[in-house]
Amino acid sequence: MITSAKESHGQRIFYAIAGAAVTPLMSLATAPILAQSLGVLGRGELAAGMAPMLFAVAVGALGIPEALTFHVARHAGGARKVLKRAFWILTFLGMSTAAIVALSASLLSDGNTDIEQLIFITAILTVPTFWASVPNSVLAGNHQWKQAARIDLCLAAVRLLVLSVFAMASLLTPLTAMMVMLGIPLIKGIVMLPYLFAYIRERRNLPPARARLINYGSRLWAGSLAGIVLLRLDQLLMVPFGNAAQLGLYVVAVSLGEIPALLSGAVRNVVFSSDAESSHRPEDQDRLQQTARLTSAATALGSLGIGVALPWAVPLLFGDSFAAAVAVSWVILAGVALGTPGSIAGAGLSARGRPGLRSIGMVIGAVLNTAILLATVPVLGAMGAALATLAGSIVAGTMNIVWLRAHFGMPMRGFFGLRGADFQLILTGISKMTGKKRVHAASK
C-alpha cells in the first residue's frame, strides 16, 4: 500500500539523494568497464546509438511525467483519473517519438552502419520507456523516495553485474552494452506496478481531481526542450559535426564531471514535489533559498575534490587513450557547480505554478549553448561541447533566480553563499546523526 508518511523536508532530500546517487555511482563504476572493453571509438558508437532515443524521449514526453507528479502532489486524494489520462497521452507520444527516432537513424549515424543499427533498436524501447515514467511520477508525487531508492539500488547493482559478466566473457559490444543500459531500467516500472495499483485502489471512491496535464506539461515543455538541448544536444550532434572518437572522450568526461550533479538533481526533485504541496508561506521561501545555498556548497566541494583526483584517476581507470577527457571534465565540473543555485531555483519556480518562466530562461540558455556548440565542436571537439554546456547552464540557471526575484520577491543574494543559520543547521544535523549512533551503540 502506498502511504504518504509525513517525512521531514530533510528526510525527503536524504532518500532522494540516496536514490538519485545509486544510478550515477553505478554508472561511474561501469564507465571503466565500458571504456576498457569498447575503446574510445566503441564507447563513442555506443553513446551515438543511444543519444537520439534519450533526446527524443525527454523532448517527446511534452512535460507529462512532471505534470503528473505535480497533480499527484497537489491532489493526492483524487488523482486516479489523471493516471489513466497520462498513460494514454504517453502511449501516443511514445509511438510518435519512436517513429522519429527510427527516421533519424540515417542522418545522425553519418554513414556509420553500426550506429544506425543501434538507433533502430533504441526506437523499439521508446514506448516502454514512456510507460515506465507513470509509476515513477506517482512515487515522486507521494514523496516515496525511500522505496524508489531501494529499487534503484537493486537495479543498478544488476546492471553492474551483467556488464561485468559480459566484459569478462568478452561479450561486451556496443550492442549488448546498449541493451543492458536501456533495458534494465525499464524493470523499475514493472517493479513499481504494485505501488501504482495500490494507489489506484485506495482512491477508487474519491472524487476525481481536475487536472490539465497537457496545459501544465506544455508550459514545462519549452523548458524541458531547452534543458535537453543543454544536456543532450552535444552528444546527438557530435558524430555529424565531429567524430565518434571525440564523442567517446566526451561521454567519459560527462560521466565524471556530472557526478556532483546527482546531488542537485535529487534535491531539485524534492523541492519540486514539496513546494508543489506548500509554497505560499514565508518559511517555504526561506527553505527554498537555504536548500539552494547548502546544495551549492556541497556541489562545489564535491566538484573540487573530483577535479583534483582526475589527472591520475582517468589514466588509471580508463586507460591512457582517455587522458584528454580530464580537461573536458574540469569544464563540466565548473558548469555543474556554478549552475546549481539556478537549478534549485528552477524547481521552486515550477512548483509555484510558473513553469513557463523557467522555460524562457532555459530557452535563452539553450540558444546560447547551441550557437557555441555549432561553432566550436568542429574545431575543438569534446572541449567545444563542454564550453557550450558551461555557458548555457550558467545563463539558464541565473534566469530562474531573476524570475523568482521579479515575481515572488525573493532576494537574489539569498541563493548564494552560506549564512550562520546554514552552519547551525549542518551542526544540528551532525549532532542528531551522532546522537542516534551513540544511542544505538548503548542499546547493544
pLDDT tens-digit map of 185-232: 788 778 777 777 777 776 654 445 555 677 777 766 765 666 677 677
* Confidence (pLDDT) at 152: 77
Q: Which cell numbers in the block locate residue 321?
A: 587513450
Q: Is the pLDDT of residue 5 over 50?
A: no
* Confidence (pLDDT) at 328: 95
- 43 versus 17: the higher-pLDDT residue is 43
DSSP 207: P
With residue 74 as reference, give the H or E element that holds it: helix 64-74
Q: Is the pLDDT of residue 441 over 80?
A: no
* Confidence (pLDDT) at 315: 92
Split at pLDDT 50, 70, 90, the class of 374 is very high
Nearest alpha carbon to residue 54 among 6, 134, 110, 126: 126
* Confidence (pLDDT) at 62: 81
* Confidence (pLDDT) at 278: 55
- 266 versus 41: the higher-pLDDT residue is 41
Average per-residue pLDDT for the chain: 80
Kindly tell me the burial class for residue 178, based on how many C-beta atoms sit within 10 Å of its own C-beta (0-12, 13-18, 19 or more).
Answer: buried
Instruction: Count CB-CB contacts under 10 A for residue 353.
Output: 15
Q: Is the pLDDT of residue 3 over 50?
A: no
* Cα–Cα distance, 135 to 190 (Å, whole number): 9
- In contact, 152 and 84? CB cutoff 8 Å: no
- Percentage, residues of the chain above pLDDT 70: 78
* Confidence (pLDDT) at 253: 92
Split at pLDDT 50, 70, 90, the class of 23 is low
Output the CA–CA distances (angstroms, integers) from residue 423 to 35, 287, 293, 418, in the order listed. Answer: 41, 14, 11, 8
Split at pLDDT 50, 70, 90, the class of 305 is very high
- In contact, 400 and 346? CB cutoff 8 Å: yes
pLDDT digits (tens, 9 = 90+) for 348-366: 887 777 777 877 888 888 8
Mean pLDDT across 134-158: 76
Q: Is the pLDDT of residue 55 over 60?
A: yes
* Confidence (pLDDT) at 4: 44
* Confidence (pLDDT) at 384: 94
- Poorest-confidence range of 94-98, 267-271, 311-315? 267-271
- In contact, 319 and 35? CB cutoff 8 Å: yes
* Confidence (pLDDT) at 220: 64
- Percentage, residues of the chain above pLDDT 90: 29
- 339 versus 14: the higher-pLDDT residue is 339
Residue 208 main-chain phi, psi, to 5 deg: -65, 140
* Confidence (pLDDT) at 17: 57
pLDDT digits (tens, 9 = 90+) for 93-132: 999 999 999 999 988 988 899 999 999 999 999 998 888 8
Q: Which cell numbers in the block locate residue 289?
A: 533559498
* Confidence (pLDDT) at 11: 57
Mean pLDDT across 42-52: 92
Kindly tell me the burial class for residue 137, based on how many C-beta atoms sit within 10 Å of its own C-beta (0-12, 13-18, 19 or more).
Answer: buried
Split at pLDDT 50, 70, 90, the class of 151 is confident
* Confidence (pLDDT) at 195: 73
* Confidence (pLDDT) at 101: 93
Q: Is the pLDDT of residue 331 over 60?
A: yes
* Confidence (pLDDT) at 232: 76
Split at pLDDT 50, 70, 90, the class of 439 is very low
pLDDT digits (tens, 9 = 90+) for 240-250: 888 889 999 99
Q: Is the pLDDT of residue 235 over 80?
A: yes
Q: Is the pLDDT of residue 438 over 70?
A: no
